[in-house]
Structure formats: structure tokens, C-alpha cells
Amino acid sequence: MSVRILILIGIGDGLQIADELTRHTNCQVFIFLDKRSRLKTNFNIAGEVSSLKKEDFLLRFLRKNRIEAIVDASHPFDKDTTKICVKTAKLENIKFRKFTRPSWKPRSNDNWITLPTLNEAEKIIPNGSNVFIATGRNGLEKFSKLTSCKFFIRRLGDGIAQCSLKNGEFIYGDPPFSIKDEISLFESLNIDVLVIKNVGGKGSFAKVEAARALNILVVMIDKPQKSNTLVISSIPEIFKWVDTNL
């Protein structure tokens, strides 16, 4: 009998997990995809990650589809989704694991300042800096007091939207971004500071490597802390967990 697993996907690794489990195990995989990730897949999508915020939506889905386990591969900073999953899995006695990639680690000569949240970032950024923000649109108000700085905010796709920061400007583009691309962009904007979330993995690391090459200050926002008993950090560990527990 196949095991029925729900995978929440907000990062590319989630698609790889779904593909590997589908091809190499007897699991029946259901997928919720975070549309904000802009990930493309040929899998049938059972739902949208944002739907979990609707009252009892996840609970009803789990019961209707007789889900036996949840693998949460949502965005590492999507605390709300993980919280809902942990609570509902416990209520329904469903096995749960959070997949999170290992965090990036600085080299000895890297110019990093690591902070627990974005709230402290404005205290670190020197006056008059050109700042590249790679943490998304949310939280831009936290930089509103830095009126002598110029902010450039990465946004995916095309657009002409007005930035909520008077001294801010959206920089549009579509991934993947190579190290060469990021170095060229940072040089053209004369960037002094990079603000980025420590999401781990390869996708966003080109910005960090570009900052390293140009000796740019990196304000690194650390991942939210989670219980180690629920976290798996590699795809082989996912297979081991499935084989051992399901």
C-alpha cells in the first residue's frame, strides 16, 4: 500500500524531493506550491501554500485525502506555514518534518554581520550607503529612517511599480542570476551594503559571492529558529526518514 505524503513547496529542493519520492518510493505525493516562488513544475498541484491560512483548510485536506505524513519544504522564512503544519500534524497524529537547507557560512575574510531579524538592520547600515535589498518587499518600512541612503530592491519579473521608500527603487529581473551578472549590477549601482536572508542553497548565493568579490558589507538575516527534532537538512535524510517511519 502506498504512503500518502503532502509536500509543501516554496523552494526548488521541494520539487526535487517530490520527484525523488515519486520515482523511487511507493509514496503517493500531494503538492501544495507557493506561487510566490515562481517555481515551474509538471506535477499536478493539489493546492496553494497561501490557502493554509484559511481556517481549518489544511485539516480538512488532510482528512479528505487520508494524508499520513507532511514534508514542509516551504520557504525557510515562512514561519506561519510551518507553525500551521506543526500544529495540525500534532492534532491529527500525522508525521511531520521540516526540510531546510544548511545555512551559508562566512569565510574568514568575509565582511558579514549576522542579525536575528530584519528589525536591527537599520542600526548597522552606515549613513549615505547604497544598499541592495534582497529580502523582498515586506519590511521596507524598517529602513524609512535612513533618509541619506539609497535603496535598490530586487523584484522578480517585469514591472514599473512605485517603491514605498521615497529613496528606494525596484530592480526587476528573472533568475537565475550568475555571479557575473550580480557583480556587474552591484558595480553599476555602486553598492556598499547587501541585505539578504540566509536561505541556504545555491539559488541566491550568487549575490553573496558578488559581495565577497567586491568586499561589500553583507547584512545577513538569520533563519528563524526551529526545533531540531523536526528538521531534516538533506534529501537523502528525507528518504531515510520515510523508510524508517512510514
pLDDT tens readout for residues 172-196? 988 889 999 999 999 999 999 999 9
pTM of the model: 0.90
- Based on the fold, state whether residues 96 and 116 are members of the same structural domain: no
Would you say residue 179 lies in a domain?
Answer: yes
- Based on the fold, state whether residues 126 and 185 are members of the same structural domain: yes
Which set of grid coordinates corresponds to residue 26? 511507493
pLDDT of residue 229: 64
For residue 165, report the phi and psi dihedrals to the nearest 5 degrees.
-90, 130
- Based on the fold, state whether residues 37 and 83 are members of the same structural domain: yes
CB 32 within 8 A of CB 49: yes
Which set of grid coordinates corresponds to residue 92? 491529527
Would you say residue 171 lies in a domain?
Answer: yes
pLDDT of residue 39: 85
- Based on the fold, state whether residues 217 and 117 are members of the same structural domain: yes
Would you say residue 67 lies in a domain?
Answer: yes
Would you say residue 82 lies in a domain?
Answer: yes
pLDDT of residue 55: 74
- Based on the fold, state whether residues 197 and 231 are members of the same structural domain: no
CATH code of residue 77: 3.40.50.720
Cα–Cα distance for residue pair 69/29, rounded to 1 Å: 10
- Based on the fold, state whether residues 235 and 215 are members of the same structural domain: no
Look at residues 165, 169, 139 and name the one whose alpha carbon lies nearest to residue 155.
Answer: 169
Cα–Cα distance for residue pair 183/170, rounded to 1 Å: 18
pLDDT of residue 99: 95
CATH code of residue 167: 3.40.50
Torsion sign across C-alpha atoms 104, 130, 224, 139:
negative
**Sheet containing 3-9: order of strands:** 47-48, 27-33, 3-9, 69-73, 95-99, 231-232
Q: Which domain holds residue 55?
A: 3-100+225-245
Q: Could you report the average pLDDT of every consecutive run of 10 residues in the chain (246 residues)?
A: 90 93 87 89 90 88 96 93 93 95 94 95 95 93 96 87 92 91 98 97 93 97 79 91 87
- Based on the fold, state whether residues 118 and 217 are members of the same structural domain: yes
